[in-house]
Structure formats: structure tokens, C-alpha cells
Structure 1
Amino acid sequence: MEETTLSIVALSAFAMIFLFILFALKQKRGIIKGKNYSSSIVTYEEEGGSKELKPTSVNYHLTRQCNYKCGFCFHTAKTSYVLPIEEAKKGLTLLKENGMEKVNFAGGEPFIVKRGSFLGELVRFCKEDLELPSVTIVSNGSLITEKWFEKYGEYLDILAVSCDSFVPETNRHIGRCQNSSKKDHLESLYRVRDWCIKYKVAFKINTVVNTHNKDEDMSEHIAELSPCRWKVFQCLLIGGENVGENAIRNAENMVVTSEEFQAFCERHRDISCLVPESNVQMKDSYLILDEYMRFLDCTRGNKDPSRSILDVGVKNALKFSGFDEKMFLKRGGKYKWSKADMNLEW
């Protein structure tokens, strides 16, 4: 009886070892692909070799704080944390060493931290010290001053200002305004556009198509502003951010259908700088770095963080980013993003 029991134990152990060896061999040959916490593929491996994922273009949301309260915001003010500037520079250096060519600073509102000086120093550091081909910012434009352009404009390639409507009342319905101020968001938009021309910074506009603006025709205004790119997004729901039990916002009544989004894009098809992005194109095709320098995986409809690149390094953190590099390339994520290559007339 004891011999039979020992034989069974030995066979079980042998079977476990055999399965482990088989699993390892399959991994080595690329049959089993690398996965993150939510089982999303983060590397594209094929028989006989693999392609290493690189952080070519990174969106660093350095703060979640904002002076606006846009109803659809999918990176809300859940914390007030901002990395010490030397730690932020350390992380940006690690990203550059691992292949970063473009960094986009976003928020929240990135100009809210130390009245823009924190952002300005990072912009200067990335362009002058790290010599990145492209340094860009996404802002609501309301806190930018001409003094900022005078000091930091030469280091910035593209400044994108978010504008969802050219009707002031619609912007107020969306929440794209300051509650404590009657200042029109559109005044900030045009003022920043003029400064971009003066200080030789490429000007871009971002628009989120939602139920409040889906029927608007913005063609005349976009033509007048003449941005280098007009990025048009479909309103996106992200659990814990703008939908769900623990969310600060509830954007469910702002979501448009795919047909409504396509109708908006079709209405503006003659705008040559139009770059539309549906939810499918957008959701997993951005490398998002939060205020702790953690990659955020959106593949499950939430923002599941990796460990910080400052703790585990870029390559290890990337494994848990959920980044879809194929979709990034398919949607045109890599373009002429250095102002030196744009041949713009100032």
C-alpha cells in the first residue's frame, strides 16, 4: 500500500515537472504571449522571435487637479499628488533611455501646478537636456500667460487646447469653464492661439464629441483658428473616473453613439487637419502615465495601475500597461510631431 502511494506521488510530481517544462518551452517559442494583470497582450511575439515594446510616445498626467469640471473628464481629481520635480526628471530620463521620442504633458490641468513653472521646467528639461524630438502639452488654456511663453515657448513643439464648442452656453453645460469666473473659455482659446504664432509653437485643438455638441458645425471656427491638428474624440466612459460607484463624474448621459460620432466627423470632412478617434481607436492605444509615474491599463474599462517606473523600471512597468501598439500605429499615433519638421508658416 505504501509503495502504491509513493508511486502515485512520484507520478504526480513527474507530471507537474513535465507541464512546467512544456509551459517554459512554449513561452520561449512565443506560443504563449506576455500578458498583464488583466490578461491583455503587451508584446507582439511570433514564432522565432519577439518585438520589444518601447515607450515611443508617452502621455504624462503630472497632476489630476483642474480648475474646470468637464462632465466627461476621464482623468479626474482623485488625488492632489504631484511628484517632486527631481523625481519627475528621473522618470523622464528613464523613459528616454528606453526609447521615448515624444512626451505629452497633461492633467488635470498641467498649468495649475506652481502657476506653470513646474511644467515649464519639465518642458525645458525634456527638450534641452533629454533632447526629445517632440515635447507637447494638452491644456484648457485658461491659466497660460504670455510670460510662460517668453520663458519656455522655445522648448515646446505643440500646445493643444481643449475646446468642445464655439457656443459659450454649451461649454458651460459641459463644464468647460471656471465656476468662480465669468471668463469665456473661447477668449483663452484665441489668446493662446495668438501666442503660439508669436512664439513659434505649433497650435492644436482637441474636441470631445458628446451629447451637448454632437450637432454643432465648427467648420468656420476651426478654419479661422487654423490648428496644425484638430483631434476629435468620441466621449469615452472609464470606470472609477467618469462612471461607476466610486467615480467623481457621471458621463453616461454625455455618451454619443458610433453613428452620431461618425455624423459629426462627416460634417467636418473638408477640414484637412481633422484627426478623428473613436472609442475603439482611442481606449488602449495611448501610453498613460499617472501622477505617480504608473502606467494605466484601460483594457478592462478601468484604469488599473502598474507599479511606478521609479520603483520597477520602464520595461517591467510596460508589461502592465495594456498598450495596443498596433492600434497606436493604425490610428496615426506617430506623425511629424517636431515643430522643426512641420514647415509651418509663423
Structure 2
Amino acid sequence: SEYWMQFSSVLASPVLLLQLCINTLRNILASVFLTVRTPGARWGTMSSVAPVGGGEGEGRAQDVMTPTSVNYHFTRKCNYKCGFCFHTAKTSFVLPLDEAKRGLQLLEASGMEKINFSGGEPFLHDKGEFLGKLVQYCKQDLQLPSVSIVSNGSMIKEKWFQKYGDDLDILAISCDSFDEATNQRIGRAQGRKSHVDNLHKIRNWCQQYKVAFKINSVINTFNVDEDMVENILQLNPVRWKVFQCLLIDGENAGEKALREAEGFVISEQLFQDFLERHSSVPCLEIVDGLFMRFLDCREGRKDPSKSILDVGVKEAICFSGFDEKMFLKRGGKYVWSKADMKLEW
């Protein structure tokens, strides 16, 4: 399984409001009084896929390994209602652009090579402009080898590719079924728009604007018997990432969850049967921002670390937990820069 880190924020919390008041007074009186730093409350969602050392406490910093690849869930809002969603819209807060950039710079300085922006739906906030500016910053200013996005595709316009496509290496579109009725049952739909037709349109834009195209699919009760071979081969993504539907307490399972995903979960045998039927697909890959905090999902829930904006990357990542062998086994390291893929556009 992947371990997630969370960069999020709590809107109008007493701690945050108190901090804003303190910061205002501090700026006015800085020339007279000695300033005392007060830690701020910051959230956001990052999933680190880089190995780290075990244990807790300040003495573990020297054992921390590089956060090579990071998933940054900077928003929880989404225009779809997928029944199995593990990152639901519990808050509408999005970290300000300057703070998000500062966190990304801290990660790059700690060794991050790949950043993946996700959500929620990342194109929903500011009609994709916020996302585009982050993509541009990571490629042009931080010069990261790989910048990627995971999206449901419903909000993407061609003009976004025209403005930011050069700085994007990979665009992954989530598609769980090639049958529209199935997509409707899952909740991966918006009105009567065709998710599948939109998928083909975005695939063509990716080819036109030289962005590597990828597909993510969550295998669940409603699509486990579907044969997707022909459709995947026709779309020809650089990777087809297949997930098994899992439960995360407080997100898609439990009393405080906004989703009830129990009805979407399939057995291990059914998942293996699906993989066997699709084993001929060469690009198949199997996978068992808000306050800028790492999330530890080892206990079936998301336990946040302190914010990297307050304590730095090394101290925060000590609490995230990571299985290096599993990271390498599932192909966590791969060719992720479009310049190195040598694709024929």
C-alpha cells in the first residue's frame, strides 16, 4: 500500500485566527518588541513515496531517506462523487500559492525529484490556474525532472495545455469503466456528459501538446467483471495504473466518513482474476495541500505529522512510515520524465 502525507488547512480555526492576529501585531511592533515565533496550523495532503527510517523522536532525522517522489493533494473539493473516494471534501481550504511554493521548495531542497498534483479534483480550484502556476514553478523554477497530475478530466480545457503543457510531464486521467452506465453507478460522472468521450479528447490533446498520457483505474464491485483490454490498447497510455479498492477509516469508512465504500470492496481473488484477464496489456501497473503534513496510513487511517512549513521535511517525514522494499517492488522508481520516455508524438 502507499503511505500518504497531508498538506491541508483548517479554515477559520481558533489557532489560525490567533496566529493571524499575532502576526499582524508582530509586523507593526517589530521595531520595538522582541518577536516570539508561534507555530501555525497548516494542512495539506502529500503522499510521499520515498523511503524513510523507522522510529520516532528528534534522534531519527539522520535515518530519514530522500522524499524522491511526492503526491500533493492540495485540495479536497471535487465535482464527482465516486463512492470509494479515499480523500473526501471535508474542507474547502487551499493553501495560498506562496505558501504552497515554499513547501515545494523545501521538498526539492530535501531531494524531491517527482511531484504529482492530485485532489479532490486539482483543476477545480481557480479553473486550473492555481494548478498551472504550481506546475510551472516546479518545472521552471525548481527544475524537477518530473511533474505530473492526476485528474478526472472533466474540467480540463485545451487552453490549459497551450499555456502550461510544456511544463507537464505526465497527465493521468482516472477512468474506472468504459461503460457510461457503470460510471454513473460508481459516481464518476457529471450530469449527462460522457466520461469516456472526454477521455479520448484529452488523450488527443496530450499527444498534440507532448504530454505523456496515463490512465488510473480503481477496481471495485461495479467494474470487476469488465473487459477493458481493447479500450486500453486503443488509448495506448504510457502506463495503466490499476488499484484495488481499499477502505480508509474516517475517509471512505467509519462513522465520520463522507463516503461509505464498503459496498465497493472486492475480494483479493476477484482482483487477481481481473489482473489475469488483463495481463496481456503491456502498460499494466499493479498497485496494492492543505496543511503540508505527511500522512501515515499504516493503521488503516491517516495520522498526520507536523507541518513541514513549521518543522522542516526531515522531522516531519520521520512520522510518515515507509516500506522501501514495497516501494521498489511496486515500481515506484520508473522513467517519469517525458524527455527520457522517447515517445513518438
Tell me the TM-score range normalised by the shorter chain: 0.7 to 0.9
* Alignment partner, residue 255 of structure 2: 245
Query: How far, CA to CA, are the matches of 1:270 and 1:182 in structure 2?
Result: 33
Task: Select the residue among 279, 290, 295 that pairs with 1:269.
Answer: 279
Query: How far, CA to CA, are the matches of 2:322 and 2:88 in structure 1?
Result: 21
Offset of 1:182 from its aligned partner?
A: 1.2
Code of the residue aligned with 1:154 in structure 2: it is D
Offset of 1:36 from its aligned partner?
A: 4.6
Offset of 1:324 from its aligned partner?
A: 2.1
What does 1:23-42 align with in structure 2 at a 5 Å threshold?
34-36=54-56
Query: How far, CA to CA, are the matches of 2:97 and 2:322 in structure 1?
Result: 26
Query: How far, CA to CA, are the matches of 1:330 and 1:308 in structure 2?
Result: 29
* Alignment partner, residue 52 of structure 1: 64
What does 1:85-124 align with in structure 2 at a 5 Å threshold?
85-124=97-136
What residue ranges of structure 1 are gaps of 5+ in the alignment?
Answer: 1-32, 44-49, 279-289
Does residue 139 (structure 1) correspond to residue 159 (structure 2)? The answer is no
Offset of 1:51 from its aligned partner?
A: 4.8
Contact 1:64 / 1:75 at 8 angstroms: preserved in 2?
yes
Code of the residue aligned with 1:172 in structure 2: it is Q
SS at match of 1:197: helix
Aligned CA distance change for structure 1 residues 243 and 148 (closer, same or farther; 3 Å): same
Contact 2:54 / 2:321 at 8 angstroms: preserved in 1?
no
Query: How far, CA to CA, are the matches of 2:193 and 2:200 in structure 1?
Result: 13
SS at match of 1:337: coil
Offset of 1:322 from its aligned partner?
A: 1.9
Query: How far, CA to CA, are the matches of 2:186 and 2:143 in structure 1?
Result: 38
Runs of 4+ in 1 over 4 A off after TM superposition: none
Query: How far, CA to CA, are the matches of 1:273 and 1:204 in structure 2?
Result: 9
* Alignment partner, residue 319 of structure 1: 318
Structure number with greater Rg is 1
* Alignment partner, residue 138 of structure 2: 126
SS at match of 2:154: coil
Offset of 1:195 from its aligned partner?
A: 0.4
Deviations 1:103-148 (A, max 9, x none): 0000000000100000000000000000000000000000000000
Contact 1:233 / 1:276 at 8 angstroms: preserved in 2?
yes
Offset of 1:153 from its aligned partner?
A: 0.2
Deviations 1:273-322 (A, max 9, x none): 000112xxxxxxxxxxx421111110110011111110110001101112
* Alignment partner, residue 83 of structure 1: 95
Query: How far, CA to CA, are the matches of 1:326 and 1:208 in structure 2?
Result: 23
Task: Select the residue among 245, 260, 272 that pairs with 2:270.
Answer: 260
* Alignment partner, residue 230 of structure 2: 220
Query: How far, CA to CA, are the matches of 1:174 and 1:52 in structure 2?
Result: 39
Higher relative contact order by CA 8 Å / sep ≥ 6: 1 or 2? Answer: 2
Does residue 202 (structure 1) correspond to residue 212 (structure 2)? The answer is yes
Q: Which one is further off, 50-59 or 168-177?
A: 50-59
What residue ranges of structure 2 are gaps of 5+ in the alignment?
Answer: 1-52
Query: How far, CA to CA, are the matches of 1:34 and 1:139 in structure 2?
Result: 32
Query: How far, CA to CA, are the matches of 1:141 and 1:108 in structure 2?
Result: 12
Does residue 342 (structure 1) correspond to residue 345 (structure 2)? The answer is no
SS at match of 2:213: strand
Offset of 1:326 from its aligned partner?
A: 2.3
The alignment-based identity, stated in percent, is 65
TM-score with structure 2 setting the length: 0.82
Query: How far, CA to CA, are the matches of 2:201 and 2:54 in structure 1?
Result: 47
C-alpha root-mean-square deviation of aligned residues, in Å? 1.4
Code of the residue aligned with 1:326 in structure 2: it is K
Query: How far, CA to CA, are the matches of 1:74 and 1:243 in structure 2?
Result: 9
Aligned residues: 291
What does 1:259-298 align with in structure 2 at a 5 Å threshold?
259-278=269-288, 290-298=289-297
